[in-house]
Amino acid sequence: MSVLLQPVRRPQPSKGSAKVPQRKSAQISRRNRKEGLLFWALIAPNLAAIILFGYYPTLYNFVLSFTEWDFVQPAPVIVGLENYIELFQPGSMLMGALSNTAIFVLVAVIGTLFGGMAIGALLAQKLRFTGLVRTMAFAPHMLPGAAIGVLWLFMFDPNYGLSRWLFEMFGMDSPHWTTTSEFSLWAITIAYAWQRLGFVAIIYYTAILDLPKDVYEAASLDGARGWKLFRHLTLPLLSPVTFFLVVTGIIAAAQTFDIIATLTNGGPGTSSTTLPWMIYDQAFVDFNIGTSAATATVMFVLLLIVTLVQVKFANKQVHYS
Amino acid sequence: MTLTAPKPTAPAATDRAQTAEPSTGARPPRGRGSASRRSGGGPRRPLPATIALYVLVAFTFAVFAVPVFWLFSSALKPENEIYTFPLTWLPSELAWQNFAEAWTSAPFGAFLKNSIITTTAGTTLEIGVALLSAYAFAFVYFRGKMLVFALMVGSLMLPGHITLLVNYITVSNLGWLNTYQGLILPGIGSAFAMFLLYQQMRQVPPELVDAAMVDGAGHLRRMVTVIIPICRPMILTATLIVLIAKWNDFVWPLIVTSTSDMRTLPIGLMFLRSQEGYDSWGPVMAGTVIVALPMLAVFFLAQRRIIGGLTAGALKG
């Protein structure tokens, strides 16, 4: 930083001022005041938007979580901790949403991690057509979640979808993915994993190509190969990337909304209700503003813990942007 | 002890690699691909392993390509072919009427217009706002600026769902529900694009900025004539990333719009799906193609830049 500031901080050579130190410093401070004003002017739009639509809502959401409101009453009514006490009753909607979110996030993150690492390693081999596969794998990451949700809704269709074709190959009937509570959470997990898998694979692919060649040469000269090489060298060298993918994967999966909204609407019942769906459903379908706000606060705290873990253990080899 | 043993083998290994490399081109099928790879020679893979790897490549390709193929194929199938089993992979004739039906049974023209307006206006504003603030943090002197910087970057930690409710209330109080400003303005604050651009601006050689300053260029001129041209590639990358995010945005347009003439494409698609019910997958898939195609086109045109930008956060360098 300081290096970059130098050209700006360096006083401009201007007539006469050099002789009188006092006037020079007055000039600098006037200059700095001008710079300061310009600074605020330049960041004002961004800062205003971030405060008005980022920090203020977070704080006010916290306040709302101690109230009861339905958008219709003139003002929120303060009820203290009531929302939280209700939310944390055993068997409450939040408990279900928490466990659904945990299952969804864990399966999606772990699944895409293993799948992505395997695909990344495969694409890094000297093979033809890998460029085409790379492009194809990354494409779902570009698509709107709503499109992915609707596409998978059709593929999951037990009568006319690809699911029936796939299961009939094994002589089975397709499960009713999106309309039965045993499968709904798995349906959104599969669709979401499909969307993210290519992204994870490309990250691993790039990381594998970046691995230091000399270390590998040394290791192979020492007789390490195959699985041993992978287990003792590749895996540890990839651990910063894995850590990054775990953290960002948790944060991204925990906020998934569009695929759920188009595939299952959080149902049947609450079988695929995750935290984001519950926040939306409570506020904009059931108009329980306080419950929604309290749920959002719970989610915020959980994600904040994940983020702080990331900040604390951020390895120097990993840059976050 | 380990030093002496490898020595004789090391030159031999590289020798073999060097001599093997040109000859791979002459070898039967897959020479071209391997010759152009980065890491040199190495022992040649046995044929069964190669076959196994290609099976895996084909399988991986299928995992990603089949659903996309299915999307396009279904969008173009006549109705009776969608509801037959065993299923058909290719439409016997191209049923463009699916697109016509999707277009007329839901106001897709309006959805498309709204998506284009909110995405372009939102992206322009967000990148503009990010450029101004990134420039301020990189080149304008202000004593406490890193504190402000931390405050702004810290907003990345706020998940969208915690701001949802209050932003809805704010926009509602401003009378902006179901308007373009309500759709666009809450999303223009940008910590991510600003951070990306700020990092890029820090790489600009100070001499260049100095030279412009000596020439008498004020901050505005310096930004427009020096910084922005140098940072153009990163600005383009950031623009693409922001653009994709805005086009795909779902939950905010869902709650802030209430009439079909203000909906964006992803929201419109969801409503098309729910109003068409289970008996018209053709038009629904056609609608899905309309929603997905622009981003696929953007991706295939600017693949390298998009992948580079989206993966830049994960890897060193």
Mean pLDDT of A236-254: 92
In this prediction, what percent of chain A has a pLDDT beyond 90? 64
Inter-chain residue contact A321 with B192, CB threshold 8 Å: yes
Strand partners, A78: A67
In chain B, DSSP assigns E strands to: none
Inter-chain residue contact B186 with A307, CB threshold 8 Å: no
Choice among A257-261, B48-52, B53-57, B86-90 with the minimum mean pLDDT: B86-90
Average per-residue pLDDT in chain B?
Answer: 83
Q: Is residue B22 over pLDDT 60?
A: no
Distance from CA of A149 to the nearest CA of B (A): 9
> Which residues of chain B from 88 to 127 reach within 8 Å of chain A, CB to CB?
none
Choice among A63-67, B36-40, B93-97 with the minimum mean pLDDT: B36-40
Going by pLDDT thresholds of 50, 70 and 90, the confidence category of residue B39 is very low
Choice among A72-76, A229-233, B82-86, B196-200 with the minimum mean pLDDT: B82-86
pLDDT for the residue B124: 97
Residues of chain B found within 8 Å of residue A135, distances taken between Cβ atoms: 300, 303
Which 8-state DSSP code applies to residue A78?
E
Inter-chain residue contact B141 with A5, CB threshold 8 Å: yes
Q: What is the count of residue pairs from A and B with beta carbons less than 8 Å apart?
A: 335
Residues of chain B found within 8 Å of residue A144, distances taken between Cβ atoms: 247-248, 250, 265-266, 269, 291-292, 295
Residues of chain B found within 8 Å of residue A258, distances taken between Cβ atoms: 248, 250-251, 266
Mean pLDDT of B35-59: 74
Closest Cβ opposite residue B2 in set A149, A222, A299 = A222
A38–B contact, CB cutoff 8 A:
yes
- Do B257 and B268 contact (CB within 8 A), yes or no? no
The enclosing H or E element of B195 equals: helix B192-202
Average per-residue pLDDT in chain A?
Answer: 87
- Tokens representing A117 are 């690492």
Residues of chain A found within 8 Å of residue B311, distances taken between Cβ atoms: 199, 202-203, 206
* Higher pLDDT among residues A127 and B13, named by residue: A127
Question: What's the pLDDT tens digit per position in A261-274?
Answer: 999 999 899 999 99
Task: Report the alpha-carbon distance of residue A136 to residue A203 in Å, rounded.
Answer: 14
* ipTM (interface pTM): 0.86
Closest Cβ opposite residue B250 in set A60, A129, A258 = A258
Question: What's the pLDDT tens digit per position in B81-110?
Answer: 888 778 888 888 888 998 998 888 889 999
Residues of chain B found within 8 Å of residue A254, distances taken between Cβ atoms: 159
B59–A contact, CB cutoff 8 A:
no
CA-based nearest residue in chain A for residue B162: A296
Q: Is residue A103 over pLDDT 50?
A: yes
Choice among A240-254, B80-94, B151-165, B189-203 with the minimum mean pLDDT: B80-94
Inter-chain residue contact B170 with A57, CB threshold 8 Å: yes
Buried b (16+ CB within 10 A) or exposed e, A30-54: ebbeebbebbeebbebbbebbeebb
Mean pLDDT of A227-250: 89
Residues of chain B found within 8 Å of residue A64, distances taken between Cβ atoms: 165-166
Angle at A281 between CA A278 and CA A284, to 5 degrees: 140
Global pTM? 0.85
CA-based nearest residue in chain A for residue B268: A146
Going by pLDDT thresholds of 50, 70 and 90, the confidence category of residue B310 is confident
Q: Is residue B191 over pLDDT 70?
A: yes
> Which residues of chain A from 248 to 267 reach within 8 Å of chain B, CB to CB?
248, 251, 254-255, 257-258, 261-262
Closest Cβ opposite residue A46 in set B64, B132, B291 = B132
Task: Report the alpha-carbon distance of residue B36 to residue A178 in Å, rounded.
Answer: 46
Residues of chain B found within 8 Å of residue A276, distances taken between Cβ atoms: 161, 251
Strand partners, B285: none
> Which residues of chain B from 208 to 227 reach within 8 Å of chain A, CB to CB?
209-210, 213, 219
Q: Which one of A174-178, B121-125, B234-238 scores highest in mean pLDDT?
A: B121-125
Angle, in degrees to the nearest 10, between helices B192-202 and B232-248: 170
pLDDT for the residue A139: 93
Residue B53: other Cβ atoms inside 10 A: 16
Mean pLDDT of B45-59: 91
Task: Report the alpha-carbon distance of residue A239 to residue A314 in Å, rounded.
Answer: 11
A32–B contact, CB cutoff 8 A:
yes
Mean pLDDT of B209-224: 85
- Collapsing DSSP to helix, strand or coil, B210 comes out as helix
Q: Is residue B207 over pLDDT 90?
A: no
A9–B contact, CB cutoff 8 A:
yes
> Which residues of chain A from 106 to 125 reach within 8 Å of chain B, CB to CB?
119, 122-123, 125
